[in-house]
Amino acid sequence: MPPLTSNALRTCVRQQLPLLRSPPVIAVQQQRRGKSDEVSPTSSFDSPFRGLGASSSTMKIPDFGHYKSNRSQDSNKVFSYFMAGTLGVLSAAGAKATIQDFLVNMSASADILAMAKVEVDLSAIPEGKNVIIKWRGKPVFIRHRTPDEIEEANSVNVQSLRDPQADVDRVKRPEWLIMIGVCTHLGCVPIGEAGDYGGWFCPCHGSHYDISGRVRRGPAPLNLEVPEYDFPADDQLIIG
């Protein structure tokens, strides 16, 4: 066998070198593959729904069987109707008592009801005099007018008055004039047989009323109010 030259030796070594290196490389690849097999890509969180099929339900319905009545359905209905009816009766009774108490409190008291109508004996009032009585908390003027006063009241030109009203429209009997004694300006009580027209005068703001209770001067806008009244007898007057 002839001796190998340097070039031939190098070529032989290069051909043998991959064969010498391949086993370690294969071993390293196998080791890496084993490690990758050991570290699985699974997560550390385990889902509670794992292993359940699509038809499986995750809702747990409690059992109320021990609360169920052992009686029949008709018996339960009777009891329910009885309780509902009893509650309705009690509610109606409570509402009735509440409304009744409210109406009683809102209604007029006994003293107000007693003053709803006032009876006056006209025979005790002489001609040409005034009498003041209290009716529903307000003063009422009762004037027994003389024939001259009646004539004076009828002689006034109604069209010249601030609140045009004829005397015959304010009285049921010419000799008896009944009015509420409250000034129509600010609610003061006028003074009788005073003023420039011989009737009533309000000293608060200077309103003058004539013998028929009609405003003639001052700030009062209206005549003195005439209440509801009647004469059940010749000498008897009922106001209200």
Catalytic residues, by residue number, are 205
Q: Within 10 Å of residue 136's Cβ, how many Cβ atoms?
A: 15
Label residues 57-83 b or e (16+ Cβ within 10 Å = b).
eeeeeeeeeeeeeeeeeeeeeeeeeee
DSSP codes, the chain: -PPPPHHHHHHHHHHHHHHHHHHHHHHHHHHHHHHHHHS----SPPPTTTT--TT-----PPP-GGGS--S-HHHHHHHHHHHHHHHHHHHHHHHHHHHHHHHHHHS--HHHHHTSSEEEEGGGS-TT-EEEEEETTEEEEEEE--HHHHHHHHTS-GGGSSS---GGGT-SBTTEEEEE---TTTS--PEES-STTSSEEETTTTEEE-TTS-EEESS--SPPPP--EEEEETTEEEE-
